[in-house]
Amino acid sequence: MGPLIRIQGSMHKFQYEDTLENRMRPYALNSLGRGFIFQQDNDLKHRYKHIQNLFSRRHITLLDWPSQSPDLNIFERVTDWWEDYVYLRERSPLLVYSNWYGLDYMPLPTTNQVARAANFIYAALTFRKLLNTQTLKPVTIQDFIPLCACQYERMFNTTRVPDVKKDRLVHLSDSQHIVVYHRGRYYKVLLYNKKHLLKPVDLQWQLQQILDDSSVPASGEHHLAALTANNRTVWANARTTYFSKGLSKASLKAIEDAAFFLVLYDEDLDFDPKDPSKLNKFSQAILHGKGYSLWLDKSFNIVVSKNGRLGCNCEHSWCDSPIMTHFWEFCIGMEVTQLKYTEDGNTVGELEETPPVPIRLKWDLHPECLDLVRSSTRIASDIIAEVDLQVLYHSDYGKNFIKQRKVSPDAFVQMVLQLAYYRDARCFNLTYEAAMMRLFREGRTETVRPVTRESCDFVLSVDNPDISVKEKLAFLQRACQKHQESYMNVMCGKGVDRHIFCLYILSKHLDVKSHFLKEVLGEPWRLSTSQEARTITRRGQASTIFVPTRKAKHRLTGGFSSTYSWCPPSGTVRLKC
């Protein structure tokens, strides 16, 4: 922070040069010494050649700033680096390591696979229209404070395109089709006829044509999507080598240009509180499928099981889970309150004219590409084999019971996790919890660190027979209060981990070695957690949101709940949801 300089009228480039040379530089040298970093926005006068020459001549280091933004918005800068370094530069497979999933827990409105898919497609495109016309009501905190909606911009018509060193997010302004995968075959399904969005009954007819198609997959087509589950550089090289011309190029373009990707899964999926294996199977089908049933590069895949269950697999670089939760709630709400089904489980309405017939995508795959598809399938199978996914269906009590004990539900779950981890590992370890930063423009997430003195005191008190139940409850309340305070502080911009992340990026950019950063970033997150609210929108914020009554058997509107990944000291991986 330097001295304020009063400017009469508008500052032009010569005044700016004089200010830099005679005011800023002497002050910075005197206060900071040589090697300081100067930050400026992308205003036109800041980018004139003679201004840039001044920086070069005086050996002044500039903080790199996104060219598309004229603002000194540090959270935008953090978001830009976060997306770049955490996601797009990462070379590991997207399968399991990056993409995440959500499930449909509501009572099944129909067991007709294509009817359920048709209504969801129509609701999804209605949501897209609200986004495009900027008429979607914003999500707010306490019906007053709006949250940043920037992440919604790339929800549809978006693909993460692999490249050798860093992937690219390619977003189209519009797309008139989706791509459907069924039994190893790919279909381009047009969504409009004569510039009008097809009705659910039309979409159901189109999808039924796909189910009735008796053709067999072409050589290599059945497992083709396994390429997106391979190492990103391997997939990038394959994409350039084998998909740069002919039928394969055109078909790949159809997938990447699609509004989203739909999977008509060829097995029944469901859940049963008395049979945990069913929910585990359901979750596994949406998280990783068969290793080749999901096109992982697409912004999101909608999976519809043979008996009508829904799931969503989402690519992580463009958004965090609350965005898709809002979308999911909207679509499920519109499905059950507006679109509905006939008594025999079909979509409502009559077919007025024949919709566009789905177009089967064709491939001309080189023998070397076929070998790579086979090896990619093996890699995907190995990744899946390393996953131990156990999903707990908990119905003994909910957040109302927890709130009656005067503790935050999220903090309560965090304390439960700390207790479970301590009992298993007999020690405390660094724990990660994601908190949203959407109170700020283009904010993504920040880290809450749940392990505190108060949380440790609570955990140690639980199994201590000399401490009364009343005292244990007091320990729990203090630990939860501390956690809630930390969460609120982080949401308001008082977290430290993204600041440390930026220091790390700057140290790499400036080739500065830091013992502090090496030590802080070298400690692994043994327990990684995130929690998602039961509902994103409040009553009245969106007219189509389904709000269950107190007597409803299933209260989860979208199937998103708390998700926990656990990496114990032994090195094995356990995923808990």
Residue 266's pLDDT is: 96
Distances (CA, A) of 357 to 120, 246, 353: 19, 23, 12
Stretch 415-424: mean pLDDT, rounded?
Answer: 93
Residue 66 has pLDDT above 70, yes or no: no
Distances (CA, A) of 174 to 149, 157, 319, 540: 19, 6, 19, 29
Residue 34's pLDDT is: 81
Selection from 322, 329, 490 nearest residue 411 by Cα? 490
Residue 396 has pLDDT above 60, yes or no: yes
Q: Say how many C-beta atoms besides its own lie within 10 A of residue 48's C-beta.
A: 15
Q: Assign residue 515 a region: left if phi > 0, alpha if psi is -120 to 50, beta otherwise?
A: alpha
Tell me which DSSP letter residue 198 carries: P
Cβ–Cβ < 8 Å for 157, 173:
yes
Side chain identity, residue 136? L
Catalytic-labelled residue, pool 46, 171, 316, 366: 316
Residue 76 has pLDDT above 60, yes or no: no
Distances (CA, A) of 239 to 158, 230, 316: 17, 12, 21
Residue 532's pLDDT is: 60
178: three-class secondary structure by DSSP: strand
pLDDT tens, position by position, 338-372: 999 999 999 999 999 999 999 999 999 999 999 99
377: three-class secondary structure by DSSP: helix
Give the count of alpha carbons within 13 A of 506, CB side only: 20
pTM: 0.82
316 is catalytic: yes
pLDDT tens, position by position, 197-235: 999 999 999 999 999 999 999 999 999 999 999 999 999
Residue 569's pLDDT is: 42
Residue 113 has pLDDT above 70, yes or no: yes
Between CA 3 and CA 19 the distance in angstroms is 11
Question: In terms of residues, how long is the chain?
Answer: 577
Residue 536's pLDDT is: 52
Q: Name the maximum alpha-carbon separation found in the chain.
A: 80
pLDDT tens, position by position, 545-565: 333 333 333 333 333 333 444
- Calculate what percentage of the chain has a pLDDT beyond 70: 89
- Calculate what percentage of the chain has a pLDDT beyond 90: 65
Give the count of alpha carbons within 13 A of 516, CB side only: 6
383-397, 424-438, 546-560: range with lowest mean pLDDT = 546-560
Domains in the chain (CATH in brackets) are: 13-58 (no CATH), 96-386 (3.30.559.70), 399-550+560-564 (3.30.559.10)
- In 184-297, alpha helices (H): 200-212, 232-242, 246-256, 276-287
Side chain identity, residue 504? Y
Banded pLDDT at 405 (limits 50, 70, 90): confident
- Please state, rounded to an integer, the average pLDDT across all residues of the chain: 87
- Give me 271's structure tokens: 């859940």
| Backbone CA torsion sign across 346, 347, 348, 351 | negative
Angle at 137 between CA 339 and CA 557, to 5 degrees: 50
Stretch 44-56: mean pLDDT, rounded?
Answer: 82
Cβ–Cβ < 8 Å for 147, 141:
yes
Residue 205's pLDDT is: 98
Tell me which DSSP letter residue 337 carries: I
Beta carbons within 8 Å of 405's beta carbon, 6+ residues apart:
412, 473, 476, 477
Tell me which DSSP letter residue 52 carries: H
Stretch 442-450: mean pLDDT, rounded?
Answer: 93
- Give me 321's structure tokens: 């889970």
Residue 203's pLDDT is: 98
The residue assigned the tokens 């550089």 is: 233
Selection from 223, 375, 391 nearest residue 291 by Cα? 223
pLDDT tens, position by position, 264-276: 999 999 999 889 8
Between CA 338 and CA 156 the distance in angstroms is 23
Distance between terminal CA atoms of the chain?
46
- Give me 152's structure tokens: 């919604």
Cβ–Cβ < 8 Å for 168, 88:
yes
Banded pLDDT at 2 (limits 50, 70, 90): low
Please write down the HEC assignment for all residues of 442-471: CCCEEEECCCCHHHHHHHHHHCCCCCCHHH
Between CA 254 and CA 549 the distance in angstroms is 43
Tell me which DSSP letter residue 95 carries: T
Residue 54's pLDDT is: 86
